[in-house]
Structure 1
Amino acid sequence: MIIKETVKVGDKTVTIETGRIAKQAQGSVLISQGDTVVLVTACGTKEPRPGMDFMPLSCDFVEKMYAAGKIPGGFFKR
């Protein structure tokens, strides 16, 4: 089931959507405002890891190289 909400924050419009992509994750939210889109996912397991007495939290950030203006290849022929 796809749920989509639009909220006005100041003079900007923020769209929050869940259920469309990343369906294999236990939870996923797609947040967009203008040209910026952020995908947030959460995955877990019912079985704890042996020897862990705390809840580990990891954050993976993947920046696309072309988004930063860096194109792989290094040398461009004319």
Structure 2
Amino acid sequence: MEIVEREFGKANLSLETGRLARQANGSVLVRYGDTMVLVAATAAPGSGAGADFFPLSVFYVEKAYAAGRIPGDSLNVKHDCLIVKR
């Protein structure tokens, strides 16, 4: 586990690797003030060999449970998955 902390603006910026999402090829937990974001990336073995680009998929899941709201439609695929193509 490695942690890097720096004073950035009016809050502390912290980057932490090696503790969460260990099955991903790479992950970082970013903390800035009261905000926390986990970023994880995976790739298939040999997927980048000889290619000048690769398709990018971004999965975004908004968790509103901490604010006391439970969303009714949790299977909204168009909202949760954005597929970016070149």
Sort the TM-score into its range (normalised by shorter chain). Answer: 0.7 to 0.9
Unaligned runs of 5+ in 2: 73-86
Unaligned runs of 5+ in 1: 74-78
> What's the TM-score once normalised by structure 1's chain length?
0.74
- In the alignment, the residues of structure 2 paired with residue 36 and residue 59 of structure 1 have an alpha-carbon distance, to the nearest angstrom, of 20
Indicate the larger mover: 7-16 or 17-26.
Answer: 7-16
Q: Cα deviation per residue 1:3-36 (whole Å; 9 max; x = unaligned)?
A: 0010111221111000001000000000011221
For 1:65, the aligned partner's letter is: A
- For the aligned residue pairs, the C-alpha RMSD in angstroms reads 2.2
Aligned length: 69
Percent of aligned pairs with the same residue?
49
**Structure number, greater radius of gyration:** 1
- In the alignment, the residues of structure 1 paired with residue 5 and residue 53 of structure 2 have an alpha-carbon distance, to the nearest angstrom, of 36
User: Hey, what does 1:57 align to over in structure 2?
Assistant: 56
User: Hey, what does 2:14 align to over in structure 1?
Assistant: 15
For 2:28, the aligned partner's letter is: V
> What's the TM-score once normalised by structure 2's chain length?
0.68
